[in-house]
Amino acid sequence: PFEYTICKKKWYKSAAGLSQHENTKHSNYNIPPIQHYTLPKNAIDEWKEMLIVL
């Protein structure tokens, strides 16, 4: 048996069953969130310069 601790169903009969479950139910776990706001380049450069001065 193959154990899976994230979901309520913790045991699968085969590695293929576990793999199928991961692919269908948890395929979006490693997708980074959409970044809604980005700083302008001049603000980033100003921040970097402040860090170097300190």
Q: Count of domains in the chain?
A: 1
Asked if the structure places residue 13 within a domain, the reply is: yes
Q: What is the pLDDT of residue 53?
A: 67
User: What are the distances in angstroms from CA 39 to CA 9, 22, 31, 44, 47?
Assistant: 43, 36, 22, 7, 11
State residue 54's pLDDT score.
Answer: 56
Give 1-36 pLDDT, tens digit per residue.
677 777 776 788 888 988 888 888 877 777 777 777
Would residue 48 count as lying in a domain?
Answer: no
* pLDDT tens track for 36-46: 778 899 999 99
Q: What is the pLDDT of residue 46?
A: 92
14 found inside a domain:
yes
Q: Which residue range is the domain that position 22 belongs to?
A: 1-27
Does the residue 34 lie in any domain?
Answer: no
